[in-house]
Structure 1
Amino acid sequence: MRASPGGAIPAPYMAYLRVYEPLAAFPAGERAEWEAWLGRNPEGATLAHEQAVSLRALIAVPPIAVPENEERVAYVMRSGDATLLCPWQSRLRSWLALTELRAVHGDGGVRLYWPQAVLDRADSDYDRWWAEDPEALPHILTSSWQIPIRWLVLFGQEDGVLGEGQTLYFRTAMSSARKRCARGLRVLKRSLGAGPLVEAVETLGMWLEEFHPLSVVELDYGGLMGLLVAQGAVGAEEREGGVVMDCSVRLVAEGLAALAEGDDAAVTSAYLRYRVKWDAVRLLARAN
């Protein structure tokens, strides 16, 4: 990853799917702790803050695979008079990320990043933590170098919100995300039968069902929006009036609608436009 002008560290090439829950969703004791934390941090945390914490862990000696303690830190969203929180859950997410790394690179590959003693401690801590809270779920899912199609199913193009710089978000009510997920799953099952995409959308729907019905679901493009622009993957129709808005959500919605109607030509067209957009990013990911 290249440093930006002035030496600032750019946003990582990662996307984030977050669930913001109302304070009422948390148990009474935990809710009181969050209310106290909000009193000190009314604006909540930022992605830049989370990135800085992660970088400090990587350059520590020895490097930190999993934080020793779970800090009470969250992203904050205001929805009318309600305050919604998306907890970082850094320990849980670190353990899950370590599991994914092992699945891809094996134990030998993971030891290139952390000493065996650090990994052994992370494993034993996870076993103890899991025994106490086996039903805990992360409020944040992450994806490197791409935005999974299953995430895009949850949103409509009208949900897009431009942030500062080249930041792009999609935000929708939990009820809408669940409806789109269920509708997309029905179409995929009827048209494709069993398969990896069907299983992935089904698993995502099960994850959504675990949260408060008045939650908000957010897709944060992170550093990927800037990368799409840099790679020339944003078409002229996505730059109207000087505003840059990725249309991947719309392409997935068009593909699902065509699939429901049995229009194979329209399905192929939507999918190819989606692939062309993201192929430049995929090639860069492989080069790295």
Structure 2
Amino acid sequence: MSPSYTCSLRVFVPLFAMEGRKARFWSSYVRRQQSAHPDPLREEHDAMLQAVIREGINFGVIDLPERALTATWRGDTVVCPLDSRGRALQAIVDSEWKLPFPLNGYVVDRESRRRAARLQLEPSVIREAADTHILSASWQVPFWWALLFDEEERHGPARTSAVFRAPISEALVRARQARDLITGAFGVGEFLGELEFVIGWLEQFDLDSMVELDFGALTDLGVRPDARLSSVDIARRALEYLEADEFDDALAAYHEFMSVWEEAARLESFN
């Protein structure tokens, strides 16, 4: 688990659903992964720190070998390629609008962003250009991610883990139901754009895949100390109220969810 204050939405694809060079590469990786790369997330995190620890971006450090997270899901081996290089390049490009002016120019210079954009045009031999298995968000758990899961899908010890795993087919059903409920109640709006993006992203993967939400270092921030309700609980409650036409309660639950992460945003501003 990365120590940075980000949460991740990851898709793990079964080996049996892969084809060609990709299937051969990841099958070989799984056979040798445990001893060669016991903690690929830690390796990725350390490399990214080395890339930015001095003035300018060290693009050589960013160019990591292909690695992945692996798990057993319903008796099958599933793989989530990290695509560390691609995600790092995207973060460099996105720094222009994700960081406030003039901080964005001090943290990442324009030439580094241009170089990152050029390097993005060189996809891996085992990865297609749009083949991204991980989405990340800093200092928040997006509402649209939380509603993909149910509290019973928490992976690991109860209340000490904030990792949720669900069949991607079930996550898609929930996302589409949420879209229909919200559209029926409030009409079509720009605020649904992020949900539509998540649906489209999930639809790219094999339906036997598993989707995972990992709060990471945000775990304690995503749980209310009083009632011990996680953000997944609250998001699910908001949709249940909406389905029952209890609009005031649905909006109250939504605002409760957002208030958790507004507090986290204040912590970010102090960081």
Please tell me the TM-score bracket, short chain as reference.
0.7 to 0.9
2:44 is the alignment partner of 1:50: yes
Q: Distance in 1 between matches of 2:60 and 2:174?
A: 35
Cα deviation code 1:150-185 (max 9, x no counterpart): 101110111112469954101101111010011001
Identity %: 24
Match of 1:136 among 130, 144, 148: 130
Q: Distance in 1 between matches of 2:236 and 2:220?
A: 23
- Cα pair distance change 1:113/1:169, threshold 3 Å: same
Tell me how many residue pairs correspond in the alignment.
Answer: 268
Aligned to 2:244: 261
2:26 is the alignment partner of 1:38: no
Deviation at 1:266, TM superposition (A): 1.4
Q: Which amino acid aligns with 1:29?
A: R
**Could you tell me the TM-score, scaled by structure 1's length?**
0.81
Aligned to 1:280: 263
Aligned to 1:13: 5
Secondary structure of residue in 2 paired with 1:141: strand
Deviates most, 24-33 or 39-48: 39-48
Secondary structure of residue in 2 paired with 1:155: coil
Match of 1:93 among 54, 79, 87: 87
Q: Distance in 1 between matches of 2:210 and 2:127?
A: 24
Q: How much is the aligned-residue C-alpha RMSD, in angstroms?
A: 2.9
Deviates most, 172-181 or 115-124: 115-124
2:217 is the alignment partner of 1:234: no
2:144 is the alignment partner of 1:150: yes
Unaligned runs of at least 5 residues, structure 1: 1-9, 239-245
2:230 is the alignment partner of 1:247: yes
Secondary structure of residue in 1 paired with 2:120: helix
2:16 is the alignment partner of 1:24: yes
**Could you tell me the TM-score, scaled by structure 2's length?**
0.86
**Counterpart contact for 1:160–1:168, Cα < 8 Å:** yes
- Cα pair distance change 1:199/1:265, threshold 3 Å: same
Runs of 4+ in 1 over 6 A off after TM superposition: none
Q: Distance in 1 between matches of 2:128 and 2:165?
A: 29
Aligned to 1:243: none
